[in-house]
Amino acid sequence: MKKLSALLVALLCTAALWAQAPATASTAGQKVGVINIQQAILATTEGKAAEAALTARFQPKRAELEKSNQDILALQQKLKAGGNTLSATAKSDLTEQITTKQRDLQRAAEDAQSDYQQAQGQLVNQVGSKMMPIITKYAQDHGYSVILDISFPWPQNPVLFANDSANVTNDIVKLYDQAHPSSASAPASKTP
């Protein structure tokens, strides 16, 4: 707690010093922008098409997981309904089946989530790698010294405030779609 208080005091003192210091040539007139890079990637025509293909690709797995969940619910209902009529052995067998199916469903769901996140990461990297030169050129053409990514909430993202006029996300999406018009028809990368 003492370390946190000392850190807070140091930050407040630093902020006070910055507020009192006159603007220098190195800080005066510098332009800072922000972009939500994840939003930008998924808002491009190519990103939308790849996300739709990704969703379609994982739909069969989602349906399989939903069916497994329905099977478990049916077994649980059977166990509940047969509470007074089932033998102890039958109840034990049903309970074991339910436990096994729940464990298998949990593993399958975790594997599917991991596979989906990996495929989505590839999509983000594929579009993002083509977007970076566009961001760089945009920053240079419009006099930005820095463009910060605000995709993640605080504390991963140290930007606490940004005026809407500093947000260049929509501009970058438009420029990307202009630079890569045929990319929309390209299929999303396949992952086994």
Q: What's the full length of the chain, in residues?
A: 192
Q: Which two tokens stand for residue 134?
A: 């566009």
The residue ranges of every structural domain in the chain are 31-185
Assign a CATH topology to domain 31-185: Protein Binding, DinI Protein; Chain A (3.30.910)
9: pLDDT strictly greater than 80: no
Higher pLDDT, 161 or 149: 149
How does DSSP assign 120-134, residue by residue? HHHHHHHHHHHHHHH
In the chain, alpha helices (H): 2-20, 37-43, 45-81, 88-141, 169-179
Q: Provide the 10 A C-beta neighbour count for residue 167.
A: 17
8: pLDDT strictly greater than 60: no
Q: Is the pTM of this model over 0.75?
A: no
